[in-house]
A = this chain, B = another copy of it.
Amino acid sequence: MTDRISRFPVPELTDLADDVRERILGVQEKAGFIPNVFLMLAHRPAEFRAFFDYHDALMEKNEGLTKAEREMIVVATSGAGNCLYCVVAHGAVLRIRAKNARVADQLATNYRKAEITERQRAMLDFAMKLSTNGGAVEDADMAVLREHGFDDEAIWDIGAITAFFAMSNRLVHLTGTPPNEPFYLMGRLPKGS
């Protein structure tokens, strides 16, 4: 309800270690602004480094799952997890990566109604089960994914992205970090409009 970036102290860029500041400036250059979650986590540099190393290891790949599919997992599970930051910020990235202005809102509200392939639906069925009732995951769930053509590495990615954003959702719930305003509109307009 406010412009507060975090319930916890937010450091000045000038006070940060060089590697943390550079990572932040890098994303700022790319996005045009600093996503709030970077400033929120900069309060804890060691956790900041581990978080973004982990994030990049999972999200910056195109093998097995496309980058858009990775974002689909984030948006669908974060919608179920009621995480406003993750839904809005990763919804923006998803719209851009999937070149689809509707799919993020669809996945965040009800992934069963989204414009996705059957294979993506199987991917999200698994991710949603792992996210909301993970203790019930069994070998049979893996078998369903294999029938849809996912191999070991792709299945690991589906599961690990789901797990990582179960953490990420809760960090945002802890800190109360809101999405930056530009995320709301990003990827909603046709390229060049």
Contacts and interface: CB of A to CB of B under 8 A. Distances in A.
Contacts of A167: 163-164, 166-167
B83 A110 contact: yes
Interface string A23-67: 000000000000000000001101101110110011000000000
Interface residues of A, number: 67
A167 B47 CA distance: 14
Interface string A74-90: 00000101111001100
A108 B142 CA distance: 24
A122 B107 CA distance: 28
7 contacts: A44-B57, A50-B50, A84-B106, A112-B138, A134-B174, A137-B173, A159-B171
